[in-house]
Amino acid sequence: MLGNISILISFGGALLSVVLYIVIGRKEERSLISARIAYYIFAGFIAIAVGYLFYLFLSNRFEYRYVYAYSSTDLPLFFKISALWGGQEGTFLLWLFIAALLGFWVMYKSGKDEILVMPIYILTQFVLYLLLFVKNPFTLNSVIPPDGRGLNPLLQNFWMVIHPPIVFIGYAALSIPFVYSIVALIKNKYDSWVGKTMPWVALSTMALGLGIFLGAYWAYETLGWGGFWGWDPVENSSLVPWLFSAALLHGMVVEKAQGALRKTNLFLASTAYVMVLYGTFLTRSGVLADFSVHSFVDLGLNNYLLGSLGFFVIFSWGFLLFRSRKIDSAPISKSYFSRDFFVYLTLLFLTLSGVIILLGTSAPIITGILGKAAAIRSRYYITTHIPLGILMTVAMMLFPFSIWKFKRGSYLNKRIIAIIASAVVSTIIGIIYRMEFMHLFLLVSSVAAAMANGILFFERLKGDIGLTAGMTAHIGVALLIIGSISSTGYSDSNNLVVTSKGGDYAFGRDFSLRGVEHIKRNKDKINLAVAEKGKDFIAELDFTDSEAGMVRTPYIKKYPFYDLYISPSQLDIPNKQVHLSFKKGEVKEVGNYRIEFIDFNAKMNAKDGGMNSVAAELILSYDDTSYTIFPKIERHSDGFHSVPAHTDFGGVIHITGLQADNGEIALAFEGFNTLDEEGQTTLYFQVSKKPLINFVWFGAILIVVGTLLSFRRRSISLTSKE
């Protein structure tokens, strides 16, 4: 109840705030206090709704469908936070919450424009209310289940706790340039919008970039298919807004300095946000259900989503078209070899990349309209992006030259020598590794771009660190491209099989099965011994049997220049259970463990209200450890239930039968490391070498740091002007 009421009150607050801003805006004496208070109500009650949902998760209130679907009593506290946004309804609430929080900042920064900025900002978020009203996390189950279905083990991962909020910060921040572009169009004044918007564009580029990279790293680390980017619609739907956001950031650099590219930027600002909504539509409608690894199910939101998408497109593009004659924009630059020209080229390439990915992701829809729906293979993205990458890196490499001043006749200076040297060295390396021509070209242009930007970075480091923002991000992009080509295009892999009797060999290393531990009810841990020259290590591979499927966790061994990626495919354990019967006082061995059956434990026999239970007292000893455990069998109205005993090493003992008169008991043992006695345990796995994969992560970090520096610089310049 509290949840739904909070959402309703917050909606009322939002609506009231919009009305008050508009009404007050028309009056002479402008006290915005009432409108602001209404905004506080909006934000406050959204916070209450989120807090209440979290409370429901903490207190295991499974009568709520959402809690039931994404949590369970044994879910660790930390992951109850991420369960909060484990499903669609929760993500809408989280998104709205983050947008409400960012709104305070928008309010504070908007200055005189608050009367226009705030109501439009709030209205922009209304689409989220639409979604929340149709699908909200406070729906009740008809009965109260005793336990929830649990969170998908793949999502029980640190990166998945922080990834969604960061992406939503990006989405929410990207609505702000949209708002400012509309405000500029309403006021028909375009000279100040860029200054006010740039920090937000930098913030959204930073947050979306960080969110995307975290998601990519998570995929690499947990999914086991060995890659970090699959061109899946879910991934693409946040990549496209990021590319538009980055394009807009470049465009704004030019507009800020020259007053040029004004219409382009206004268009990009509205389009970037439209892309956010379109991505939401793609991933929340059922349209791509058969074309993605993610299960998209039609939430019944299509009409709302399409409606609001249509509204945003027609309204913002139409308004821009209507005003286009009145928008005066300066010409871009006098020279082709100017900074602004290269920035403009980059903007063009980023936009093009966004559009190409957009078309590819929409392929099932486009072909569905024309005839039979068909998806596009990931090769499409790669074939288009290799030449695009070359152009982008060449532009990035040339960009520092537009800043450096060269004296006549001294073109061959140290900088140029360093860049040419780096290109030559990378060409030789590429030829040694027999790279394909286009890959080689892209590698060399990326290395040269990294070098050129690196030189400029160090030259500028002496001054204002804010001025190195662009260089930092550019070096990051170049490294990311180098890492991507080598780790995906030149990855080597071997399929191996090891059994309890024999090992396998690849990449100069011996692989052998050390043991299988049964850690939890549904989790096996495989210890795979890897022997390499003098250095041995154990690769731990997990198999978790969950409702979402068998989750196989890969093991990654990092080296400076490559990763050894060990990904398990299948584990066959014949006769996992060992069945033995014991007489009183008898001792038997299971694996390395000694078991003694003492007696049926009379103390543990309980009679209460028709329920009867029998426990067996066992002494378990191994190594230096020895202790007593009690597997039980209980009689319920519908028959006997075994209550197994769990050992400290993850083994499980069940009572499978007993004869109290003879003092005999039959027991089943699971997870007792009985490899050698029991036939062959077989592990199928794949080992791959991923050269230079670290460049990908290092490049990603530099891109995020670069955009962060840009955010810092743009928000400082904003504050100092006021």
Partner 1 sequence: MVKKVRLILAIAIVIIFGYIAYSSFSDQMTPYVDFRQARSSGKTVQVIGEVVNSYSEIDTTTGALKFALREDDSGDTMEVEYLGGPKPGNFDQADKIVAIGKYESGVFHSNRLLIKCPSKYQGMESDKDNSKGI
Which is closer to partner 1, CB of 18 or CB of 234?
A: 234
Interaction between residue 333 and partner 1 (CB under 8 A): yes
Which of 73, 413, 495, 659: binder of partner 1 (CB under 8 A)?
Answer: 495
User: CA–CA distance from 429 to each of 432, 433, 705 (Å)?
Assistant: 5, 6, 29
Residue 680 CA to residue 669 CA, distance in Å, equals 18
83 and 57 Cβ atoms separated by less than 8 Å: yes
Interaction between residue 548 and partner 1 (CB under 8 A): yes
Which is closer to partner 1, CB of 383 or CB of 659?
A: 383
Interaction between residue 87 and partner 1 (CB under 8 A): yes
Binding marks (x or -) toward partner 1, 583..612, rule CB under 8 A?
Answer: ------------------------------
Interaction between residue 367 and partner 1 (CB under 8 A): yes
Residue 700 CA to residue 716 CA, distance in Å, equals 24
Phi/psi at 229 (5° precision): -145, 125
Interaction between residue 146 and partner 1 (CB under 8 A): yes
Nearest CA to 652 out of 524, 515, 552, 540 is that of 524
DSSP assignment, residue 489?
A: I
* H helix intervals, 188-286: 193-218, 233-258, 262-284
Residue 637 CA to residue 642 CA, distance in Å, equals 14
678 and 578 Cβ atoms separated by less than 8 Å: yes
Interaction between residue 352 and partner 1 (CB under 8 A): yes
Residue 642 CA to residue 521 CA, distance in Å, equals 14
Residue 546 CA to residue 489 CA, distance in Å, equals 33
Residue owning tokens 């939401």: 280
Which is closer to partner 1, CB of 222 or CB of 468?
A: 222
Interaction between residue 327 and partner 1 (CB under 8 A): no
Phi/psi at 335 (5° precision): -125, 150
Interaction between residue 90 and partner 1 (CB under 8 A): no
Taking residue 671's Cβ as centre, other Cβ atoms within 10 Å add up to: 26
Q: Degrees (nearest 5) of the Cα angle 437, 442, 444?
A: 95
Interaction between residue 416 and partner 1 (CB under 8 A): no
User: Smallest gap, in angstroms, from Cβ of residue 504 to partner 1?
Assistant: 10
Could you tell me the maximum CA-CA distance found in the chain, to the nearest angstrom? 107
Residue 365 CA to residue 633 CA, distance in Å, equals 57
Residue owning tokens 């829809």: 365
User: Smallest gap, in angstroms, from Cβ of residue 436 to partner 1?
Assistant: 16
Interaction between residue 434 and partner 1 (CB under 8 A): no
Which helix (H) or strand (E) segment holds residue 428: the answer is helix 414-432
Q: Which amino acid is at 562?
A: Y
Which is closer to partner 1, CB of 63 or CB of 596?
A: 63
User: Smallest gap, in angstroms, from Cβ of residue 219 to partner 1?
Assistant: 12
At 19, is the secondary structure helix, strand, or coil?
helix
Q: Under rule CB under 8 A, how many of the chain's residues touch partner 1?
A: 68
Which is closer to partner 1, CB of 570 or CB of 628?
A: 570
Interaction between residue 438 and partner 1 (CB under 8 A): no
Which is closer to partner 1, CB of 162 or CB of 352?
A: 352
Which is closer to partner 1, CB of 206 or CB of 332?
A: 332
Which of 61, 149, 576, 584: binder of partner 1 (CB under 8 A)?
Answer: 149
| Residues of span 276-295 touching partner 1 by CB under 8 A | 290-293, 295
Interaction between residue 341 and partner 1 (CB under 8 A): yes
Interaction between residue 363 and partner 1 (CB under 8 A): yes
Which is closer to partner 1, CB of 331 or CB of 534?
A: 331
Interaction between residue 156 and partner 1 (CB under 8 A): no
Torsion of CA 338, 341, 343, 349, to 10 degrees: -150
Binding marks (x or -) toward partner 1, 373..392, rule CB under 8 A?
Answer: xxxxx-xx--xx--xx--x-
Interaction between residue 259 and partner 1 (CB under 8 A): no
Binding site for partner 1 (CB under 8 A): 65, 68-70, 87-88, 141-143, 145-146, 149, 154, 223-226, 290-293, 295, 297, 299, 331-336, 341, 344, 348-349, 352, 356, 359-360, 363, 367, 372-377, 379-380, 383-384, 387-388, 391, 495, 497, 547-552, 567-570, 684-686
